[in-house]
Amino acid sequence: METTSGPPGAARDGTADRRTLAGDPLRFLASPLPWRALGFLLTGWLVALMWTVATLALLLVPALGLVLLLGGVPLAAVERRRLRWVDPAPAPSPHAPPVRPGPWGWAGTRFRERATWRELGYALCFALALAWADALVGLLVPCVLYLLGFPLLTVALPEFQPDRLFGLIPAAHPEAFLATALGLALLPFALYLVTAYALWRVRLTRFVLLGGEAGADRRVRELSLSRERIMDAMDAQRLRIERDLHDGAQQRLTGLILSLGVARLELAEAPEPARIAVDEAYRQARTALSELRELVHGIHPQVLTNRGLAPAVAELADRCPVPVDVAIHLPDRPPEPVEAAAWFITAEALTNAAKHSGATRAWIRCHRQGPSLLLEIGDDGTGGADPARGTGLLGLADRVSVLHGRIEFDSPAGGPTLLRAELPCDW
Amino acid sequence: MRLVIAEDAALLREGLSLILTNAGHRVRAVADADGLLAAVAAEAPDAVITDIRMPPDFRDEGLHAALRLRRDLPGLPILVLSQYVEHTYAAELVSLGGGVGYLLKDKVGDIPEFLAALDRVAAGGTVVDPDVVRRFLEFRRMRAPLERLTPRERDVLALIAEGRSNSTIARGLRVTDAAIAKHVNNILSKLDLPPDTDGHRRVLAVLAYLQHDHDGF
């Protein structure tokens, strides 16, 4: 079984914006996103320049005038590639494969497509205005960097001797370090601004170059957003149920056990039937509480919330009848939905290993790989587990897919079984 | 004894206070972790009983408060009452050394046993709820019976369970540190706690020992 995220086109960018710009500011500034955005903005004018030069060169050959109308197509291909620096969601070409082979067939198909004309329009806007506006906004960051390095510049380049920076900050040391302080203060704002602008620009590009959103695409986007909402709501509900049970039923049952305990002491001298009855009530209350406790743990393990993935998974491994080697190396705690998914995957995989596989040894490896959390669980059992038969693994695939991750499950008859999940998280 | 109890559920707080007062203790009851820290500073109690999950965030404030109290007042006996069977919390407590206890809340119903457990903790002993240990060892026990340990290794494990360090044990048994280190390694491997097992191997070994030692409640 292999499930990939596959959100078409713009289905992801709404969440990408929300996660990165509205999240923890330190995490945002340490992430590569602002610098990717900067790269996107500062390279656009080069593309525009090359496209303009190539177009003008083609104009010199009269017979190629018609070809010029297709000029938007290669530029759009470059732009679809470039925009993924900022938003890595896939940006597939909206063009259909040519009906007939050969260059004429290709041109014929392209001329009949609406996407071709949208691309030409975009190419003109881009080459004449957008690319240059991008560069202007992008230059904000180099300006701030110039401020930062101003004192260094005055030392390194003796011939470069402006009297004062903006007429405000003298070039002489140590006053020149005022510029560094100013630069440091402005840098986060510049990065935020540049990133926000780049995200907006990428959305514009997606809108034009991915054929807007055709009806089916829009439906898929809505569906995938609503699926995210449902999963969020489900997790919130789980947490609420767990809290309600803990604060309500569990406390009351404990109170009842306490009262029955007192009653048992008071009845120590009472006739035997009375003592037996109270003992029985006490025993049943304790059984009820311990069943409730197990139920609550399965709904949402507290150790996961309070201590993170490593101890929670170790707890799962410790309770597994098959010996499990655990190796978890995470520099930081991943976002909560990722932790929860990893925990549920591990729980399901270990249950399978213990129940069906006849394994004598299992192992769990979990570490960070690039921007993703990589989780691998394997056992030396007989394999042959079929994800289509149980709902457990399918449910996991849904959960992983909502997080735009992927899960691979390989369990040939005879074994071994290997489950591999990749969960992207904005670290 | 002078006791401080921290428990946010009023019903349980009152019930516990009543039971402990009737047993002849002087009790000060509070409802959250900050209250616990303040009450301990004010009362200098002989032991502390605390819930794990308390206001304001209802996560593990009680446990954090307990760890902090032990740092500020080493040796202060602390009995944690919990609704969680996870052994992670119990292991964190046991790793503090002697004078700690981790009981599931329903154990307060067996009042004589509960009072005895409190006394054991107050006297510097270690108490871990048998249900927590049993749940943890349910499967492990078949793989790694404590019976496989030699008598000497069992003596060493008993001393580890009292919270002693390798060198203290070595002095007590009049052998070298290296000999004790070898015993400890043998114990851990016989209990199927290889070096790559996550977390506190020593504590897990102690849990295994406690399970064997006081089975039943």
- pLDDT-derived band at A213 (thresholds 50, 70, 90) equals low
CA distance B78 to chain A (A): 20
Q: Are residues A57 and A174 in the same domain?
A: yes
Residue of chain B with shortest Cα separation from A265:
B111
When mean pLDDT is compared across A324-328, B118-122, B185-189, the lowest value belongs to B185-189
CA distance B12 to chain A (A): 6
Residue A206 domain-assigned (yes or no): yes
Residue A222 domain-assigned (yes or no): no
Residue B124: is its pLDDT beyond 60?
A: yes
pLDDT of residue A212: 54
Quick check: B138 and A319 CB within 8 A?
A: yes
pLDDT of residue A9: 37
pLDDT of residue B20: 95
Retrieve residue A270's tokens: 């009472």
Task: Tell me: cis bond preceding A416? Omega within 30 of 0 counts.
Answer: yes
Residues in chain A with CB shorter than 8 Å from the CB of B87 are 315, 318
**Domain enclosing residue A201, as ranges:** 2-213
- pLDDT-derived band at A173 (thresholds 50, 70, 90) equals low
Residue of chain B with shortest Cα separation from A284:
B106
Report the alpha-carbon distance of residue B165 to residue B184 in Å, rounded: 11
Mean pLDDT of chain B: 82
Q: Are residues A139 and A288 in the same domain?
A: no
Residue A18: is its pLDDT beyond 70?
A: no
Residue A214: is its pLDDT beyond 60?
A: no
Q: How large is the angle between the packed helices B61-72 and B33-43, nearest 10 degrees? A: 30
CA distance A204 to chain B (A): 42
Report the alpha-carbon distance of residue B28 to residue B48 in Å, rounded: 10
Model confidence pLDDT, tens digit, residues A374-397? 999 999 888 877 766 666 777 888
E strand segments, chain B? 2-6, 26-30, 47-51, 78-82, 100-104, 126-128
CATH of the domain at A367: 3.30.565.10
Give me the phi and psi of B26, to 5 degrees please: -100, 120
Question: Which carries the bigger pLDDT value, residue A20 or residue A247?
Answer: A247
Q: Are residues A350 and A263 in the same domain?
A: no
**Mean pLDDT throughout A395-406?**
86
Q: Which residue has the tokens 């990749």?
A: A422
Q: Are residues A326 and A182 in the same domain?
A: no
Residue A221 domain-assigned (yes or no): no
Q: Are residues A46 and A173 in the same domain?
A: yes
Nearest Cα residue to A68 out of A52, A84, A83, A79 = A52
Q: Are residues A410 and A361 in the same domain?
A: yes
When mean pLDDT is compared across A70-84, A146-160, A240-254, B38-52, the lowest value belongs to A146-160
Quick check: B136 and A289 CB within 8 A?
A: no
Cβ-based neighbour number of residue A416 at 10 Å: 17
The total number of residues written for chain A in this structure: 427
A166: left (phi over 0), alpha (psi -120 to 50) or beta: left
Closest CB from B11, B53, B199 relative to A311: B199
Model confidence pLDDT, tens digit, residues B90-114? 878 887 877 899 999 988 999 998 9
Q: What percent of chain B has pLDDT over 70?
A: 81
CA distance A254 to chain B (A): 6
pLDDT of residue A180: 84
Question: Which carries the bigger pLDDT value, residue B140 or residue B115?
Answer: B115
CA distance B73 to chain A (A): 24
Q: Are residues A284 and A306 in the same domain?
A: no
Q: Are A318 and B86 in contact (CB under 8 A)?
A: no
Cβ contacts of B12-18, under 8 Å, gap ≥ 24: B12/A251, B12/A254, B12/A255, B12/A258, B12/B51, B12/B105, B12/B108, B15/A255, B15/A258, B15/A259, B15/A262, B15/B108, B16/A258, B16/B49, B16/B108, B18/A262
Residue A290 domain-assigned (yes or no): yes
Model confidence pLDDT, tens digit, residues A218-237? 677 778 888 888 888 888 89
Q: Are residues A208 and A236 in the same domain?
A: no
Q: A217: Cβ–Cβ under 8 A, 6 or more apart, which residues?
A: A8, A9, A10, A11, A210, A211
Among A158, A184, A213, give the residue marking a domain's end.
A213
Q: A154: Cβ–Cβ under 8 A, 6 or more apart, which residues?
A: A160, A161, A162, A171, A173, A176
Q: Are residues A190 and A77 in the same domain?
A: yes
Residues in chain A with CB shorter than 8 Å from the CB of B192 are 323
Quick check: B139 and A319 CB within 8 A?
A: yes
B216: left (phi over 0), alpha (psi -120 to 50) or beta: left
Residue A174: is its pLDDT beyond 50?
A: yes
Q: Which residue has the tokens 């108490």?
A: B127
Report the alpha-carbon distance of residue A406 to residue A421 in Å, rounded: 6
Closest CB from A261, A310, A326 relative to B109: A261
Report the alpha-carbon distance of residue B48 to residue B75 in Å, rounded: 11
- pLDDT-derived band at B30 (thresholds 50, 70, 90) equals very high
CA distances from A41 to A64, A126, A156 (A): 31, 12, 29
Mean pLDDT of chain A: 83
Quick check: B86 and A315 CB within 8 A?
A: yes
DSSP helix/strand/coil, B66: helix
pTM metric for this prediction: 0.60
Residue A118 domain-assigned (yes or no): yes
Residue A11: is its pLDDT beyond 50?
A: no
Q: Which residue has the tokens 């230059």?
A: A139
- Number of domains present in the structure of chain A: 3
Residue A324 domain-assigned (yes or no): yes
Q: Does B152 touch chain A (CB under 8 A)?
A: no
**Is ipTM strictly over 0.85?**
no
Q: Are B5 and B20 in contact (CB under 8 A)?
A: yes
Report the alpha-carbon distance of residue A315 to residue B9 in Å, rounded: 28
Residue A245 domain-assigned (yes or no): yes
Among A150, A181, A213, give the residue marking a domain's end.
A213
Residue A309: is its pLDDT beyond 70?
A: yes
Residue A152 domain-assigned (yes or no): yes
Retrieve residue A70's tokens: 């297709």
Question: Which carries the bigger pLDDT value, residue A425 or residue A391?
Answer: A425
Q: Does B113 touch chain A (CB under 8 A)?
A: no
pLDDT of residue A7: 38
Quick check: B131 and A305 CB within 8 A?
A: no
CA distance B4 to chain A (A): 19
Q: What percent of chain A has pLDDT over 90?
A: 29
Residue ranges of domains in chain B, CATH in brackets:
2-128 (3.40.50.2300), 137-213 (1.10.10.10)
Q: Are residues A374 and A272 in the same domain?
A: no
CA distances from B63 to B37, B56, B92, B201 (A): 12, 14, 9, 21
- pLDDT-derived band at A16 (thresholds 50, 70, 90) equals very low
Give the pairing type, strands A372-379 and A362-369: antiparallel
Q: Are residues A392 and A279 in the same domain?
A: no
CA distances from A103 to A98, A100, A108, B151 (A): 9, 9, 8, 87
Residues in chain B with CB shorter than 8 Å from the CB of A302 are 53, 59-60, 84, 86
Question: Which carries the bigger pLDDT value, residue A55 or residue B195?
Answer: A55
Among A213, A239, A261, give the residue marking a domain's end.
A213
Report the alpha-carbon distance of residue A20 to residue A88 in Å, rounded: 13
Quick check: A285 and B86 CB within 8 A?
A: no
**Mean pLDDT throughout B142-166?**
72
pLDDT of residue B33: 93
Q: Are residues A242 and A132 in the same domain?
A: no
Q: Does B31 touch chain A (CB under 8 A)?
A: no
Residue B66: is its pLDDT beyond 70?
A: yes
**Mean pLDDT throughout A43-52?**
93
Closest CB from B58, B84, B198 relative to A243: B58
Hey, what amino acid is at A416? P
B:175-204 residues touching chain A, CB 8 A cutoff:
192, 194, 196-199, 204
Q: Are A249 and A292 in contact (CB under 8 A)?
A: yes
**For A210-271, where are the alpha helices, taking DSSP H only?**
215-245, 251-266
